[in-house]
Amino acid sequence: MELHEKTCVPCRGGVPALGRAEVAGLLAKVEGWEAPRDHHLTKTFKFSDFKTALAFVDRVGAMAEEQGHHPDLHLAWGKVAVEIWTHKIDGLTESDFVFAAKCDQLAR
């Protein structure tokens, strides 16, 4: 099953964040995403204008509500920066990569 086909699993805390090797393996499956300090995922999506970027934010917001996993979104003219991590453990879980893959699908 591809990452974008999975569902984000709510984290109740008490689980360890993914290790460096796990992050690297999953990062290879989400094109263009970065994992600074293996703590969070970030990617900037580029669009032709503000209206298209805003529509993407709306789609990501709806998906975030559906998945129960909420990113930081930064909207500017022609671009949207997305940051995601699992706040309960202050690090990355597989759900963050699932969310990233779903964002990539929404940008297509």
Spatial distance between the Cα atoms of 43 and 33, rounded to a whole number of angstroms? 5
What ranges do the domains of the chain cover?
Answer: 36-108
**pLDDT at 12 (0 to 100):** 77
**Does 73 have pLDDT greater than 80?**
yes
Top CATH class of 36-108 equals alpha beta
CB 11 within 8 A of CB 88: yes
pLDDT in tens, 1-58: 999 999 998 877 788 999 999 999 999 999 999 999 999 999 999 999 999 999 999 9
